[in-house]
């Protein structure tokens, strides 16, 4: 069997497959279905300083080759995540977990990251400056190099663990923003978050979700995500985590060839809760088919 392990910011993953934030909760529901220790790791639900109820319903809708969501970062707040969710997670997951953090100000990001940085279970801090579904925060920090760099600097100043900045595709120049984060001290980049999209119900003549617009994800966005991973990985010296429409072992290989060190799986988890397990189980067969001995050796191979 080929070698599936990869190194992500100094921490070894048994394989590069990571369920994406917002599609895997805090792991408990999936642990009832299969042993989640098969995963490389997972990125838990976007966590903010204070508890959030999220956006009004309806806030999820299916559409051709994907889905639109505007959940709005519903979560119990960082204190409850640390006091309740992480102790429960420890019972079912024996690897380091990726903590996904969102905020509405630079101070919010720094506060939440500093608290999670002290948790032994947390291996990486994935700082989301790219959520399109909240007002006055999230994506507003990820659409300019200066703002993204400011958040990066503030978080790096109060943390010791690897900081991975999650970027929005809803920009004209993704490379300049990623480069600004690297220059500000980021240890890695996650991309892409959802594209901004909407649908209108022909019967009601109104948008299908209450927020009007939301994050568009699913297989339809894979070529856009792959292109951005290719561009960013080629311009940076820090690892890139690729995501966006990934739903098969072949997609994982393609992302890695484009330059991704690890690969997150998002919307596919909502369609099939066994998606990540099945992708991991399929990887050895796909590696054999394409004569790949080691996944770490194919990272960025498409650009050579």
Following DSSP, what letter does each residue of the chain receive, concatenated? --B--EEETTEEESSSEEEPTTSSTTSHHHHTTS-GGGSS--BPPPB-SS-B--SPSP-EEEETTEEEE-----B--HHHIIIIIHHHHHTT--S-EEEEE--SSHHHHHHHHHHHHT-TTEEEEEEE---TTSSSSGGGGTSSHHHHHHHHHHHHTT--S-EEEE--S-SS-HHHHHHHHHHTT-SEEEE--PEEE--EETTTTEESSTTSSEEEESGGGHHHHHHHHHHHHHH-SS-EEE-SS--SHHHHHHHHHHT-SEEEE-HHHHH-TTHHHHHHHHHHHHHHHTT-SBGGGGTTGGG-
Check residue 73 and give its pLDDT.
Answer: 80
Averaged over successive runs of 10 residues, the pLDDT of the chain (304 residues) comes to 94 98 95 98 96 85 87 89 97 98 92 98 94 48 86 97 95 96 98 93 94 92 98 98 98 98 97 97 98 98 88
Check residue 140 and give its pLDDT.
Answer: 63
Tell me if residue 131 is catalytic: yes
Catalytic residue among 9, 113, 131, 276: 131
Instruction: Give CATH for domain 6-303.
Output: 3.20.20.70
Q: For the chain, give every domain's residue range.
A: 6-303
Check residue 62 and give its pLDDT.
Answer: 87
């Amino acid at each position: 069997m080929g070698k599936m392990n990869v190194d992500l910011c100094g921490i070894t993953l048994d394989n590069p497959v990571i369920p994406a934030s917002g599609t895997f909760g805090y792991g408990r529901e999936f642990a009832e279905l299969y042993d989640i220790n098969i995963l490389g790791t997972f990125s838990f639900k976007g966590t903010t300083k204070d508890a959030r109820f999220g956006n009004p319903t309806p806030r999820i809708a299916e559409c051709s080759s994907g889905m639109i969501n505007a959940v709005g970062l519903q979560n119990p707040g960082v204190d409850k995540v640390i006091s309740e969710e992480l102790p429960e997670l420890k019972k079912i997951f024996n690897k380091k977990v990726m903590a996904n953090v969102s905020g509405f100000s630079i101070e919010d990001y720094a506060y939440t990251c500093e608290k999670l940085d002290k948790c032994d279970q947390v291996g990486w801090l994935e700082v989301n400056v790219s959520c399109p579904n909240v007002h006055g925060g999230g994506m507003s920090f990820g659409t300019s190099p200066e703002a993204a760099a400011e958040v990066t600097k503030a978080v790096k100043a109060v943390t010791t663990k690897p900081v991975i900045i999650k970027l929005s595709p809803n920009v004209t120049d993704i490379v300049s923003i990623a480069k600004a984060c690297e220059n500000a001290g980021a240890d890695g980049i996650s991309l892409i978050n959802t594209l901004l999209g909407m649908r209108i119900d022909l019967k009601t003549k109104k948008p299908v979700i209450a927020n009007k617009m939301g994050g568009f994800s699913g297989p339809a966005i894979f070529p856009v995500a792959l292109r951005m991973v290719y561009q960013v990985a080629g311009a940076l010296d820090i690892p890139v985590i690729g995501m966006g429409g990934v739903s098969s072992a072949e997609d994982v290989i393609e992302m890695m060839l484009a330059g991704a060190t690890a690969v997150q799986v998002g919307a596919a988890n909502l369609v099939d809760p066994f998606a990540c397990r099945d992708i991991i189980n399929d990887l050895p067969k796909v590696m054999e088919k394409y004569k790949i001995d080691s996944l770490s050796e194919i990272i960025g191979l498409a650009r050579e």
